[in-house]
Structure formats: C-alpha cells, structure tokens
Amino acid sequence: RLPVPKLEDTIRRYLNAQKPLLNDDQFRKTEELAHGFEKGIGKELHERLVAQDNQNKHTSYITGPWFDMYLKAREPVVLNFNAFMSFNPDPKSEYNDQLVRATNMTVSAIRFMKTFRDGYLEPEVFHLNPEKSDTEIFKKIIRFVPSSLSWFGAYMVNAYPLDMSQYFRLFNSTRVPKLNRDELYTDEKAKHLLVLRNGNFYIFDVIDRDGNMLKPSEIQAHFKYILSDNSPAPAFPLGYLSSENRDTWALLRKNLLDNGNEEALQKVDSALFCLSLDDFPIKDFVHLSHTMLHGDGANRWYDKSFNLIITKDGTAGINFEHSWGDGVAVLRFQNEVFKDSTKAPAISPQSQPASVDSSRAVQKLDFKLNDALKAGITKAKQKFDASVEALSLNLIQFHEGGKDLLKQKKVSPDAVAQLAFQMAFFRQYNQTVATYESCSTAAFKHGRTETIRPASIHTKKCSEAFVRDLSKHSTEELQKLIVECSKYHGRLTKEAAMGQGFDRHLFGLRYLALSRGIALPDFYQDQAYAQLNHNIISTSTLMSPAVQLGGFGPVVSDGLGVGYQVHDDWVGCNVSSYPTRNGKEFLQCVHKSLEDIFNVLKGKKISS
C-alpha cells in the first residue's frame, strides 16, 4: 500500500524545495506558516487522512483526490493534459506502409487486449536484481505460488510487482464531458473499432460473436476500404468538440444527445480504441511532435483513452488522455504492440486483403447537427486553431555523450539532465523556478505518481558556479558540485518512488480540508505555496526501445513542457512553450549546459 508520509518529513521536504525559490524574508515567512500548520490544523488533517486511509485498505489515499483533480479540471484536454509518445519505425522499411502498419498494429493491440483480459499478460515487475528474478526458472516457480503469497516470493529476490489497476481502462473507454466533473466510461462488451480519416468517423467489428478476433486479412480489407473512400471532409467536423472547454463540451454533448445522436455517440465512446489515419507524410521531428500532440483537431477524438495515429508514410504514435492512467500503463502497451507488430506481424506488404464486402461491414457514422451544434463546432475550431498557433515545439539532440559516460563517472544520468535544465533556465532568465519531474508510484497498490523537485539549493549553487562565477572555480570543484547534485537528486528520486515525496501528501491534506468544508489553512494561502505549484519547468522522461520521442504541452501559460531521454551515447530533448517563453533559446542553453557538464566530468577546462 502507498504509505502516508510522516507530517514532519513532508514539511521538511517542502521547505527544502522552497529554499532555492525564495529570498531570506520570504523563506522565514513560509517556514513560520509551515511549522504552524504542522503543529496545528495540519496535524489534525493528517490524523484524519491516516484514519481514512486505514479504513480504505482496498485503495490508496491519493486515488480519489487524483481522479478528481483530473476530472474536475475544466480546461481542454488537448495541450493541457493529453501527452504523446511516437513509435520507432518498423526496422523493415517496407512494413512502414500506412495500410500494412495500421493492420499489424491493430492486430497486435487486439492480441494485447485479449491476453490481458484472459489473465495471461505477464505482470509488470520492477527487477532490482534481474539476474535472479528476471529468469524463466523464477517465473515457472512463482507461477504455482498462490497470488496472496506470490508477491512475497518476488519480494525475497528483490522483484517488485507493479500496480496494474489502470490497464483495464486502455480499451473500450472514454472520458465523458459532464458539467463540473467528467466521468470515465468503459464498456468491455463492445466489439468494434473507431477509425477516423479526413474528419469522418467509421466503425466496424474486430471481434466476432464468439469473442475471436477478425482475420487480419479482413481487418486489412476494411482499412483499405476506408483509405480509398473519397467522401469529402465534413463541413463541421465533430472531432473539434473533444478539444473544447469541458463545461462547454458537456452542454454541446447534451445537445447532440437530444438531437438524435445517442447511438452514434455510444459507438464512439465504447469503441475498442480510436485509430486516426492521417493523409500526409511526416516532414521532420517537429512536425511529428505537432502531429502526435494535437494534429489538426478534426481527425482525433481526444477523449478516448488513446488515439493510435498512423500517417501516410506509416509513422505511428499514441496520444493518450491522462485522467484514467499514467505513462507506465501506456508504455507497456506500446512496448508490446511494437514488439509484436515488428517480430510477429500479422500481414506482410505482399499480403492480399480478404475478399469481403467492406461496404456492408464498415459503417460510416452520420451525426445530425442543428444550428447551435454547427456554431459550437465552428467556435471550437477557432479556439483550437488559436491554441495550436500559439504553441511552439523545439528539439535538440546532444551527441557528445550519454548514459554510458555518466555511469562511468558515477553520476546519475537523470540528475545530469535535470541539472542541465536548471542551468539552462538560470543562464536564460537568471533565476531558479518551480520545477516538476514525474515519478511513478506504481510499486504501490493504486499508486499514481509523485513529484520529484529537481530545483534544489545544490542545483542552484552549481548553476551559479557554471554560469556566473566560472572563473572562481577549478574543474575539480565543479566536478564536486555535479556529484553533490547527483547524490541529492538520487535521494529525492528514491524517496518519491517509495511514496515519500511531499506533493501528494500536501495535496491530499488540502483536498480533505476542502471536502470537509474546513476553511483553507493559511499554509495553503501562502504566495510561496502557489508559486511552488505553478510549475514553470515541467519534465517527464520515458525510455523504451519502442519509443522514438514523447512530449506534452506546458502546464502553465508561461511554462516549458520538457520531454527528454538519456540514451547510451546521446541525449534527446523535446520542449513545448507559448510566446511568453523562448523554448528554442532554452534548448540552446540546455545544449551548452550539457556540453559544460560533460566536459567538466571529462576533466576539461570550460569557458563561459
């Protein structure tokens, strides 16, 4: 179970995170409020939270509040919450044909779903000592141990089973807009797939009456039929509605339902998943990021658990809605689909589609729109276009070193990437700001994520030394500063992964106060608390052989959304920003920071 940290630990960690962001006077005030909270109302709330947690052993203390946080948010899901991960191309280039890849990935996705639902999907396990636990013999033995004890057997060999309670929402699921709070809807009985092309909606069954998957050649035939359908794009594409403010969309949805579209919407909501087929090839990585993060708005249904997007040249990616689950569940799905579709593809480029009557099997959904709905779609499109117009995406690849060199120098690769972001922002804006790094707490029942706070007194000191006071420090001193940052970041990461961060705990206490009608404690009304939760630099990393690149929008209007990967011998970084921040310049500063850090670690003298 996810532990509720001790209140004094949380307050201490909170103040450590505040230290680099505040001047002495501000810090004194925040410290006073924090200690007052710890001894007063905070103590009371903490005791209530612990008691409540003890009464709800089937779940975790963060589950309810976290779902609420996502589902009560009224901002559009696109750019604000949905993230993307793009697939690497199929190693066999001729398999990157749109029709071939769409068929193979869909078949692999259905295989994954059936394996999962039949209880045969291998559990997600974190192996601290893979030589002992990630072996066939261990798997054979543990298979025969009753599940109430098997986790203990795994624990004995340092293998930690991860929570998989989110996985069922991958399929047949959608986020339904409702006034004030959305709902998650899942219908596991539905057998059809939703396909979007050119803003048109198509459905066909991919599972038969006996629960078996349609033959791959039939799925291929239906895709071929959809790809060759030359119906014009709809004048009012419905997809834009899923990019609206949630309350606006909830009212428009009610209008759709009252206007005779209940059956069509039900088909959209309950479909296995949404496959978006785009009619253009990808030009470069920036174009790829724009396509997978938001696309054109007409050919996506952002409310589905995920959209599998495949472009004209067979480039594939996933855009996923975030309320139902986190990156780890989507990543596992992506890894399996990539592995299966490349190692055991269902069809080849030479395969002929089955001779079936697709015009009968494939149904094109028609939506009845009144004037209010048409006006609603037009307005949604205008807003969507304006948001996308304001968004910049920039990328860099740093090729002068990566994980291998950093491990050799005994520093944490993740700590170095995070230090480079701190240093870059300091170089660009001469300040240290609230920074967020996501860390999975899936090692616990119904765990979600915890925040690592990469901006620390150590990174601040190191940034100042590299950027402002370079002449005052020898290479050895700079190396020591990097090592200090690495050690501290390692400690924060370990604490977060073990459920010992402070963000979720404070969030849970605040949620409890509000839900019980208690006046919001002064601690939460402190300007410094608001500032710490206004995450200007929001970061996330995921490494996988299946994923080429990932990204998300900034979480605040003056923020940067940083997706990054530290590979064996290079570092990739993808940044989103709005006009108030120069993401391109930030990345140039990141490149310079990485260069400096790597050179110092190699013992070279650097210049400012």
3 state DSSP class of 382: helix
Query: Annotated catalytic, 591?
Result: no
Element (H, E) at 482: helix 475-497
CA atoms of 309 and 338, how far apart (whole Å): 14
Token output for 361: 């099997």
Close Cβ partners of 389 (under 8 Å, ≥ 6 residues apart): none
Compute how many other C-beta atoms are within 10 angstroms of the C-beta atom of residue 191: 19
Helices 503-515 and 63-72 sit at what angle, rounded to 10 degrees?
Answer: 80
C-alpha to C-alpha distance for 292 and 269, rounded to whole angstroms: 21
DSSP assignment of 407-450: HHTT--HHHHHHHHHHHHHHHHHSS---EEEEEE-TTSTT--EE
Choose, from 46, 322, 489, 505, the residue flagged as catalytic.
322
Residue 311 token pair: 């472009």
- Tell me the torsion sign for CA atoms 129, 130, 134, 135: negative
Residue 129's contacts (CB-CB under 8 Å, 6 or more residues apart) are 157, 158, 159
Q: From 425, 424, 441, select the one nearest 433 (Cα to Cα).
A: 425
- At CB < 8 A and 24+ separation, what contacts does 482-488 make? 482/411, 482/416, 482/419, 482/597, 482/600, 482/601, 483/410, 483/411, 484/458, 485/415, 485/419, 485/456, 485/458, 485/459, 486/411, 486/412, 486/415, 486/416, 486/419, 488/415, 488/456, 488/458
Q: Is 74 exposed, middle or buried (0-12, 13-18, 19+ CB in 10 A)?
A: middle
Give the chain's end-to-end CA distance (angstroms, integer).
48
Which residue is associated with the tokens 């000592």?
129
Reading the block at residue 83, the tokens are: 């993230």
Nearest to 391 by CA among 257, 472, 297, 502: 297
Strands 560-566 and 306-310: unpaired
What is the phi-psi region of residue 317: left when phi exceeds 0, alpha when psi lies from -120 to 50, beta otherwise? Answer: beta
Residue 161 in 3-state DSSP? strand
- Residue spans of alpha helices (H) in 296-370: 327-343, 358-361
C-alpha of 408 from chain center = 30
Q: Which helix (H) or strand (E) is 256 found in, with range?
A: helix 246-258
Q: What residues are labeled active site?
A: 322
